[in-house]
Structure 1
């Protein structure tokens, strides 16, 4: 299918004004297809002109334009030409559409727990035409009237309040103007919990088999929802404008959530079936608040074209963390951001695919999707924090209010947004935006100290700008130092040049640990001094500032990726400091990163068992001393389950014997144990299937696939490869879980034959897998055989000119991680 270009979008928006959509969907035509009837009313600025409508159908039965029939066979590459337009037009398109199984369009999934089918619409970025005929671009917004015919036992939820009529027909209330990619329908035997707040009807919905966790988590979800509404109403001065507010937890969702007005969709893993750590609840609360903030920034005011996608995501990323800190019990949300979101964003910044936050002209829609990453989210949010430091918070919020008011139900651009902030603050933002928003990459900040007899004589912040992407970024942040848990000094500074003197530190005791950007206010590579890194095993756990500890861990992770910190140094700090960590986000995320990234990527293969044993030893020590049922106990138990080589312990836990408190009936925890047993060859296919029978759910099926793919046997790998790369009808989630297990092997020889096959077979999947889903498969399935030959094959594939944008971008990012691993291993060798 052709991807809409920016030039085409500009031409069409200059010609077309959409008045309304009336969409009728018939979801009672079986498991493969559904009926779609669209009545589209629109104006044309130049009568007699020719344009086109987007429609990606299994078949088009009829097309009527202004009373005249058009040939349905004229649809080509997802477009139907509309000739001889009048000033006012009515187009009716009747079509048969196909359900998807890759998370795009109208996705249909079967829940094996009860055999029931569930449908949801995910129309981002360009999937709307696979559901209804439309002018599919973000600046052609219009109100919607939607009618859905569904099986008798189904419930329907959508952008407008749903009313059930006769014969399973649901009518949704007319919406305010929406961009095409925000229209959604969720339908199936969903179960619901309802509430109301400040005159807004609220609903939370999930599969019937998730009734228990839905009801168990409903109070927490409603609480965060209500607090977020109150906070944003007060902050923006504009009431939520889209009627009811539904949150639907749907299966096999490609992202975390999607901000459809009035009907937000979430991945249903957020309804934790078993025990949940505090940081997992924080992550979910952040997602709830993030999507709600989009009701104003993204939904009420939508970017004009995809190259301003950051206006949606950076804003929501910043506002959700701000809301959690100011209005909920999750006051440590910025700590979570440091160790989760910014680590993700820094990874995107290290890749050759790095890009500016804004101003990257997306020449077509699919190209824009490639910049939907940690830079659009985490870096953009950090840039907004720096903008607030530059203009002042009151003036920033005044500008945001003006922007939202002026552009309500329309579209905005970067220039519009910055113009509103300039008007409210009285500051010229041209130089600031050029440095922070329009230039890619990041500065490196460090602190250089001269001391005499343990007293600081001179302290300077050094700011290094990337040579190939120079920029003059002002940074406002703080520097703090500790010895034995006592804070010896903290200085706030604004850095505007390569060298900035910290006069306030002169004459103070030299700290053992000195942390630039200690409160994590800016976006930069933090380079810790050699003396600080050497002191961390003894000192980090004593630092009382959890935000600074998160910055240190992030800097260590960044340093390992950049081959400036050895994996041995990281593991030394992990051994000493991690078991004493009290912040849930740091505790769980650092453990996961150590287990799933540091050891398998950066530790040479012959040394990995010893490194894994170190992780297990630290986790076992924490588990022994942790209070049962706490986040500390759960985090430690998960790490033990994933790293232990104690067959007796693993088999007992898998059978439900001797489990840590709170995990007695936790199926998700059991799968961690089973995966470890499978990867070590201690169980086989029959035993995996037996555990699958105990957890006959969607998540159980996915975990079983991953475990089967992890078995250290040639036949298991061959089976996994066929299931992954063949046309086996696997869903987006099934493909990802197969890929996760495939490369798990005791040695490279077992999977070596699949390295060259990856570079031919996986890109070819673009013939039947959607771009959004395939981009994830390409990343997860990338060979975990870290050799120069893998790098050679990767480079050769990236140079091909027949790759789709999503495949190319994911290959570039995965290749960058491979080369980081090779560089680290070459630099530090077998030092672990």
Structure 2
């Protein structure tokens, strides 16, 4: 299907104003298709002109425009031409649509736990026409009236409050004006928990087989929801306007969540079946708050075109963290951001696909999707923190309120937003926005010290700007130093030039560890000094400031990726400091990064077993000391389960014997153990199937696929590759789990023949897999055979001119990680496996 271009969108919006949608969906036609009838009322600024409506149907039964029948076979490339428009128009389209299995459009999934089916709509970015006929662009908003016919035992939830009008028929209350991609319907035998707050009816919903975790987590979900409502009502001065507020945990969801007004959809993995660490609960709370903040920024006011998507995501990213810190018990949310969100964003910034936060004109809808990444989220949020430092918090909030009020139920642009902030603050933002919003890449910040007798003689901050993307960014942040856990000094400064003297540090004791951007207030590459890196194994675990510890870990990860810090140096710090970590986000995320990224990507093959053994020893040590049932105990147990080579221990844990306290009935933990056993060839297909029988659920099936794909034999790899690349109808989640397991192998020889096949077979999947889902498959399935030949094949694939935008972007990003791994191995590969060190 052709993608809507910006020029086409501008032309159509200058001609068409949509006044209403009436959508009737018949979900009682079996498992493959559903009926869709749409009545669109709209005006035309130039009577007699032509336009088109977007429609991606399995078949079109009838079409009429202003009472005149049109040819139902006239849909070409997803568009139905509308000729000779009147000033006021009514279009009626009756069609048969296909359910999807890739997370886009109206997705239908079967829960193997009870063979019950569930449906949900995910219409971002351009999937709305696969559900109903529409003018599919974000600036043609309109109110919706939706009717749904469903099986008698189904419940229906949507943007408007649902009322059962008769047996199997549901009507949804008329909505406020919505962009087409926000319309959604969730239908199936969902189970629910309901509440109310401040006059707003609340509901949380999930599959019937998830009733227990839904009910167990409902109180926490409602608490974060209520606190977020109170916070945003007070901050924005505008009440939530979309009636009821439902949060639906749906199967096989491509993203974390989607901010559909009144009916937010979440991936149902957030309803943790077993034990959950504190940072997992924080992540979920952050997602709840993030999606709610979108009710104002994104839903009440929607970007005019996709190139201002950052207005939605940067704002929600910033506001959710601010809300958690100010209004909930998750006061360490910015620490979590440092070690999770900013690490993700810095990775996007390192890639050749990096782009400015804003101002990248997306010439069509699909190309806009390629900039929906860690820059739009994490960098955008950091940029907003710098904007607040520049104009003042009160002025920023006043500008936000003015923007939301002026553009309510309409659309906004970057210029509109900055204009509101300028008016409220009295500051010209042209130079600031050019440096922070309109220029890609990041500065590097470091501190040079000269000392005499352990006393600082001079301290100079250096700000290095990328030569190929110069910008003059002011940075407001701080520096702090510690020795043996005692903070020796902290300086706050605004840096506006290449070098800035920190006179406040002169005459103070030289710290063992000096951390630029210690409170993580800005967006930059933090370059730690040689002496600081050398001191980290002994010093990092003693630093009481968890935010600064997160910045140090983020800098180390950045250094490993940039080949300025060796993986051995990272592991030395891990050995010494990780077992003493008390912040849950740092503890769990650094362990996961060490196991799943640092070792398999940056440590040469012949040293990976030794590296995993180091991680395992750290996990065992923490597990022995941690209190039962704590985040520390769970994080340690997961690390041991994933890295241990102790067959007796792994088999006992897989069989439910001798488990750490709190994990006795945790099926998700068991799958970590089973995958380790499978990847080592200690169990076979029959054993995996046996564990699958014990966990006959969607998640159990996905984990079984991953474990089968991980088996270290040729037949298992051949089966997994065929299932991934040729079996059409696999869900988005099934494809990703097969891909996650496939490249796990004891040596390259088992899988190296699949490297060239990846570059032909996976891009070809665009013929039957949606762009959003395939972009994830391309990343996860990228070969983990780190050789020059893989790099050559990758470069040749990227140079092709027949790739879809999503496939091309994902290949570029995966190729960048391959080249980072090759550079690190070339730089540090000759060093002894026991050695450590780093350069800056």
CA contact (8 A) 1:603 1:825 kept: yes
- Distance in 2, matches of 1:422 and 1:163, equals 45
CA contact (8 A) 1:151 1:168 kept: yes
Instruction: Report Cα offsets for 1:90-148 as digits up to 9, x if no partner.
Output: 00000000000000000000000000000000000000000000000000000000000
Matches within 5 A, 1:573-592: 573-592=573-592
Q: Shift in Å at residue 431 of structure 1? A: 0.1
Q: Shift in Å at residue 728 of structure 1? A: 3.7
Counterpart of 1:74? 74
Instruction: Report Cα offsets for 1:676-719 as digits up to 9, x if no partner.
Output: 00000000000000000000000000000000000000000000
- Distance in 2, matches of 1:787 and 1:46, equals 60
Instruction: Report Cα offsets for 1:532-557 as digits up to 9, x if no partner.
Output: 00000000000000000000000000
CA contact (8 A) 1:324 1:333 kept: yes
CA contact (8 A) 1:21 1:144 kept: yes
CA contact (8 A) 1:607 1:830 kept: no
1:675 partnered with 2:708:
no
Q: Shift in Å at residue 830 of structure 1? A: 4.1
Counterpart of 2:328? 328
- Distance in 2, matches of 1:132 and 1:302, equals 20
Q: Shift in Å at residue 432 of structure 1? A: 0.1
CA contact (8 A) 1:118 1:207 kept: yes
Instruction: Report Cα offsets for 1:209-259 as digits up to 9, x if no partner.
Output: 000000000000000000000000000000000000000000000000000
State the SS of the aligned residue for 1:493. Answer: strand
CA contact (8 A) 2:728 2:768 kept: no
Moved over 4 A (4+): none
Matches within 5 A, 1:535-546: 535-546=535-546
Counterpart of 1:244? 244
Q: Shift in Å at residue 165 of structure 1? A: 1.7
- Distance in 2, matches of 1:570 and 1:519, equals 21
- Distance in 1, matches of 2:4 and 2:315, equals 26
Counterpart of 1:260? 260
- Distance in 2, matches of 1:781 and 1:611, equals 24
1:712 partnered with 2:712:
yes
- Distance in 2, matches of 1:164 and 1:584, equals 45
- Distance in 1, matches of 2:60 and 2:497, equals 62
- Distance in 1, matches of 2:491 and 2:722, equals 58
Instruction: Report Cα offsets for 1:245-278 as digits up to 9, x if no partner.
Output: 0000000000000000000000000000000000
State the SS of the aligned residue for 1:124. Answer: coil
**Number of paired residues?**
832
1:98 partnered with 2:98:
yes
Instruction: Report Cα offsets for 1:757-811 as digits up to 9, x if no partner.
Output: 0000000000000000000000000000000000000000000000000000000
- Distance in 2, matches of 1:456 and 1:350, equals 33
Instruction: Report Cα offsets for 1:651-695 as digits up to 9, x if no partner.
Output: 000000000000000000000000000000000000000000000
Counterpart of 1:56? 56
Counterpart of 2:759? 759
Q: Shift in Å at residue 313 of structure 1? A: 0.1
1:196 partnered with 2:196:
yes
CA contact (8 A) 2:51 2:81 kept: yes
Matches within 5 A, 1:658-807: 658-807=658-807
Q: Shift in Å at residue 727 of structure 1? A: 2.9
State the SS of the aligned residue for 1:659. Answer: coil
Instruction: Report Cα offsets for 1:584-637 as digits up to 9, x if no partner.
Output: 000000000000000000000000000000000000000000000000000000
Counterpart of 2:29? 29
Instruction: Report Cα offsets for 1:358-383 as digits up to 9, x if no partner.
Output: 00000000000000000000000000
CA contact (8 A) 1:123 1:181 kept: yes
Q: Shift in Å at residue 650 of structure 1? A: 0.2
1:613 partnered with 2:613:
yes
State the SS of the aligned residue for 2:491. Answer: strand
- Distance in 1, matches of 2:460 and 2:809, equals 39
- Distance in 2, matches of 1:214 and 1:359, equals 41
- Distance in 1, matches of 2:489 and 2:728, equals 61
Counterpart of 2:837? none
Counterpart of 2:836? none
CA contact (8 A) 2:278 2:584 kept: yes
- Distance in 2, matches of 1:730 and 1:88, equals 44
CA contact (8 A) 1:584 1:631 kept: yes
- Distance in 1, matches of 2:144 and 2:747, equals 56
CA contact (8 A) 1:688 1:704 kept: yes
State the SS of the aligned residue for 2:493. Answer: strand
CA contact (8 A) 1:317 1:378 kept: yes
Instruction: Report Cα offsets for 1:58-96 as digits up to 9, x if no partner.
Output: 000010000000001110000000000000000000000
State the SS of the aligned residue for 2:178. Answer: coil
- Distance in 2, matches of 1:178 and 1:434, equals 31
State the SS of the aligned residue for 1:73. Answer: coil
Matches within 5 A, 1:502-581: 502-581=502-581
Matches within 5 A, 1:624-639: 624-639=624-639
- Distance in 1, matches of 2:558 and 2:73, equals 54
- Distance in 2, matches of 1:768 and 1:495, equals 51
State the SS of the aligned residue for 1:165. Answer: strand
Q: Shift in Å at residue 756 of structure 1? A: 0.2
State the SS of the aligned residue for 1:194. Answer: strand
CA contact (8 A) 1:603 1:830 kept: no
CA contact (8 A) 2:601 2:821 kept: yes
Counterpart of 1:422? 422
Question: Which structure 2 residue ranges, 5 or more long, are not aligned?
Answer: 834-840
Q: Shift in Å at residue 729 of structure 1? A: 1.8
Counterpart of 2:234? 234
Counterpart of 1:447? 447
Q: Shift in Å at residue 166 of structure 1? A: 1.4
State the SS of the aligned residue for 1:371. Answer: coil
- Distance in 1, matches of 2:727 and 2:747, equals 28
State the SS of the aligned residue for 2:73. Answer: helix
- Distance in 2, matches of 1:470 and 1:165, equals 62
Counterpart of 1:364? 364
CA contact (8 A) 1:103 1:252 kept: yes
- Distance in 1, matches of 2:499 and 2:296, equals 40
Instruction: Report Cα offsets for 1:374-403 as digits up to 9, x if no partner.
Output: 000000000000000000000000000000
After TM superposition, the score normalised by the length of structure 1 is 1.00
Counterpart of 1:173? 173
Deviating more after overlay: 112-121 vs 162-171:
162-171
Instruction: Report Cα offsets for 1:32-59 as digits up to 9, x if no partner.
Output: 0000000000000000000000000000
- Distance in 2, matches of 1:478 and 1:710, equals 46
CA contact (8 A) 1:249 1:265 kept: yes
CA contact (8 A) 2:459 2:502 kept: yes
- Distance in 1, matches of 2:572 and 2:493, equals 32
Change (3 A) 1:830 1:665: farther
Q: Shift in Å at residue 474 of structure 1? A: 0.2
- Distance in 1, matches of 2:567 and 2:786, equals 16
- Distance in 1, matches of 2:492 and 2:703, equals 48
Counterpart of 2:435? 435
Q: Shift in Å at residue 460 of structure 1? A: 0.7
CA contact (8 A) 1:604 1:830 kept: no
State the SS of the aligned residue for 2:64. Answer: strand
- Distance in 1, matches of 2:471 and 2:292, equals 34
Q: Shift in Å at residue 167 of structure 1? A: 2.5
- Distance in 1, matches of 2:599 and 2:485, equals 29
After TM superposition, the score normalised by the length of structure 2 is 0.99
Counterpart of 1:110? 110
CA contact (8 A) 2:480 2:491 kept: yes
- Distance in 2, matches of 1:249 and 1:568, equals 41
CA contact (8 A) 1:191 1:206 kept: yes
Counterpart of 2:345? 345
- Distance in 1, matches of 2:615 and 2:467, equals 38
- Distance in 1, matches of 2:693 and 2:824, equals 43
Counterpart of 2:409? 409
State the SS of the aligned residue for 1:13. Answer: helix
